[in-house]
Structure 1
Amino acid sequence: MNRRHDIDALRALAFGLVILYHVAMYYVADWHWHLKSPHAADWLQWPMRAVNLWRMDLVFLISGVAFGFLRQGGTPARLIGQRSLRLLLPLVFGMAVVVPYQAYVQALDNGAIVPGFAAFLARYTTGGPWPRDAFDGWDFGVTWNHLWYLIYLWAYTVVLALLTPVLDSAAGQRLRRAFTQLRGLALLVLPVLPLALYSLTLWPRFPPTHDLVHDAWLHAVYFTLFVYGYWVGVDAGLWAALRRLRWIALALALGWFALHVGLRLTAVGADPLWRLAARLAADAYVWTSLVAVLGWAHHRLNRPWPWLAWANESVYPWYVLHQTLIIALAVLLAPLALGPVAEPAVLLLGTVLGCWLLTDGLVRRSAWLRPLFGLSPRARPRCPTPASPARPGARNA
């Protein structure tokens, strides 16, 4: 099967958007995050919401596409074993080594602990206990913070791998064909219906937690999009349809977001039905945004970009490292009082440089660090085949 460069590029760009989003989280006013800048701005809320509504949905959809590639030629047990190594090992390492500094800074900023990272780390490794709301995840003693994606992706991979007999059954294949044969208006409307159903039934009762256990609404949404990605795969007809719809989907996404904003502004202090209507508008916005992103990516990115191989191997290490780098740099930059323009620029540049230096200068070069950051072992160079003795009269090359 030919390599789909647009999917590879979209995966790298989607994770790049996650990094940019987390830098902005330091500056958006009134949104909970581990640390907040004195330059927090109210105007960031709506641009951030415009991205927040579909950024992780895109990541899980692309992960579903990748699942389809990984499934080929392997048993469910082998797939689960491979993905467990690639996902759970970085999760455990990240929780033990990368994430604790985030929790320390948040607890220090909240006044829940006294300064001293070594003392905090000693307490963290034993699971606390901690003062109430010391940091996100304080009640569990330890936290995975931004690494929640890894455990969610692992769980969805296990479930879908175990459902392989159902996926491969006649009924499973009919359902997949029904999805991949959607065209035009049906492709823009029908995939929204499950998302709307979850908003009607689960969203009011299960707000996002990212704790794996009490996240029923997000699990329903993310797993559905994971399955959509698996079904989308590299189906040429469906991707051609997505490409044809890119302009219409973009226009519809803008319209649905405008409606969502209007309903949310109207719903402040109003009847919960208005907020539910805003949520349903957001569901339509999410799917039309994804159709637009996939269509434009297939139109513009399906070529062998020279940076793709490097980007694909850099995605996981950058993802694991970036948020701790953001928080560490924010702490270092705060006393300099660079202002609301220079400071975000320096913070973003420093995060990118830090991820690049640590990944290319250390992680990718180390045989024992590579698996801890989700990378496969470096391929060993093959030994050259000994040359055959020259036959009499043969000309030496």
Structure 2
Amino acid sequence: MNRRHDIDALRVIAFAFLILYHVGMLYVGEWGWHIKSAYTSDALQLPMLFMNRWRMDLIFLISGMAAAFVLKSGETGRFLAMRSWRLLLPLTFGIVAVVPVQPYVQGVTNGVVEPGFWNFLAEYYTAKRWPENAFDGWEHGYTWNHLWYLAYLWVYTLVLAALLPALRSGGGRRLADGFGNLRGVALLVLPGLPLLLYSLTLQPHFPERGDFIHDWYRNAVYFTVFVYGFVIARHDGFWREALRLRKIALAFALTVFAVYAIARHDLPDEIPYWHEVVIVTLRNLYVWAALLAILGWAHALLNRPFAWLPRANEAVYPWYMLHQSLIVLIAYWLVPLKLGGFWECVLVIAGTVGGCWVLHEYVIRRVALLRPLFGLKPLGAAREPSALRMAAYGIVPFATLVIIVVSRG
């Protein structure tokens, strides 16, 4: 099967939007984050909400499609070893070396952590229990912050591998074909119904905490769209219908979002249950319609071998790991200067993009030791480690970190 350039390009675009979204978190009014600008605006809430509803669903959907293309028959063990190496090793390194600037900045901004980054690190590496609300994840000692996606994706990959016999059985193939053969209104609406069910049954009891163990609502949603991606990746009928429906799906998504925004605007603290159900239903219809529209338009416009795509696709992983720490650090330096909202935002974006580009282009991709720590393949024709070594390289460092945190928590 020819390489799907549209999926590669969509992966690059999805993570680029993630960077812009996290810059937006500096400026959106009334939404908490690790650090906030003095120039916040409530007007940003609507465009941020527009992206917020589907941004991570799209990334997990793409991850499921990537798994379908990489996972070959009879190579499940090697696939899991490779995924452990390329997810857990960067996650462990990121927690230890990339993320710590974020809890430091948040702790100092909250007035709980004393200024002095090296002194902070000396305490952070002991996995001590921090004062309450010092930073996100204070109760665990360490935090993975934006790198939570890697941990969730690794677990979903393990579960997917365990389900492969069922997915490849006669019944599993019929279910997959049933999904891929949905047409018209059925494709526009039905895949969103499980997401609606999770919102009505799980979300009230499992608010988003980002610790995986108690994150049953988000796990249900993200694992479902991950499996959706795995099922539709190679289904030609689905892609033909997504292409055909792209204009209708986009119009439907925009219409539903407009009604959703009106339905949730300026609400009192207490609203009738039926009103909650309407809002939740609209939200989930919007999420799936938006995903379907994105897939259809990407297939129409991006399925070609762009010259920039191979290098950009390689850069996604390091940029993803670096971007939020750079945003937080640059904002920490700039916010006290009171430069004005426009110039501050321009400098944050320029500094983040420039920092990611320089570090990836001139350091990470050129240093053999750093490449696997940022999820990149070995340099040149270097031999890939055996499956057992790949699994050990990923699992052992992460397991060691978990043991340290648990034993000192």
TM beyond 0.5: yes
Contact 1:243 1:296 in 2 (8 A): yes
Equivalent position of 2:330 in the other structure: 329
Contact 2:35 2:332 in 1 (8 A): no
User: How big is the shift at 1:120?
Assistant: 0.8
Identity across the alignment (%): 54
SS of corresponding position for 2:370: coil
SS of corresponding position for 1:189: helix
Equivalent position of 1:297 in the other structure: 298
User: How big is the shift at 1:272?
Assistant: 4.0
Aligned residue pairs total 382
Residue by residue over 1:349-396, the C-alpha shift from the partner in whole angstroms, topping out at 9 and shown as x without a partner, is: 1110100000011000010000000011012289xxxxxxxxxxxxxx
Aligned pair in 2 of structure 1 residues 38, 272: CA closer, same or farther (>3 Å)?
A: farther
Equivalent position of 2:68 in the other structure: 68
> Which protein has the larger Cα radius of gyration, Structure 1 or Structure 2?
1
| Counterparts of residues 354-393 of structure 1 (less than 5 Å) | 354-380=355-381
User: How big is the shift at 1:76?
Assistant: 2.3
Residue by residue over 1:246-279, the C-alpha shift from the partner in whole angstroms, topping out at 9 and shown as x without a partner, is: 1111111111111211221264322243233212
Equivalent position of 2:252 in the other structure: 252
Equivalent position of 1:120 in the other structure: 120
Amino acid at match of 1:229: G
Residue by residue over 1:181-208, the C-alpha shift from the partner in whole angstroms, topping out at 9 and shown as x without a partner, is: 1111110011011111111111111111
Amino acid at match of 1:355: C
Equivalent position of 1:351 in the other structure: 352
Equivalent position of 1:388 in the other structure: none
Rounded Cα–Cα distance in structure 1 between residues aligned with 2:65 and 2:134: 38
Equivalent position of 1:319 in the other structure: 320
| Counterparts of residues 149-298 of structure 1 (less than 5 Å) | 149-265=149-265, 267-269=267-269, 270-298=271-299
Rounded Cα–Cα distance in structure 1 between residues aligned with 2:267 and 2:229: 33
Aligned pair in 2 of structure 1 residues 381, 72: CA closer, same or farther (>3 Å)?
A: closer
Rounded Cα–Cα distance in structure 2 between residues aligned with 1:375 and 1:181: 36
Rounded Cα–Cα distance in structure 2 between residues aligned with 1:241 and 1:189: 14
| Counterparts of residues 112-151 of structure 1 (less than 5 Å) | 112-151=112-151
Rounded Cα–Cα distance in structure 2 between residues aligned with 1:245 and 1:268: 37
Amino acid at match of 2:222: Y
Equivalent position of 2:106 in the other structure: 106
Contact 1:108 1:115 in 2 (8 A): yes
Rounded Cα–Cα distance in structure 2 between residues aligned with 1:175 and 1:256: 28
Equivalent position of 2:397 in the other structure: none
Amino acid at match of 2:257: F
Equivalent position of 1:391 in the other structure: none
Contact 1:199 1:276 in 2 (8 A): no
Rounded Cα–Cα distance in structure 2 between residues aligned with 1:315 and 1:189: 31
Amino acid at match of 1:20: L
Residue by residue over 1:118-158, the C-alpha shift from the partner in whole angstroms, topping out at 9 and shown as x without a partner, is: 11111111112211000000000110000000001111111
Rounded Cα–Cα distance in structure 2 between residues aligned with 1:276 and 1:134: 35
SS of corresponding position for 1:360: helix
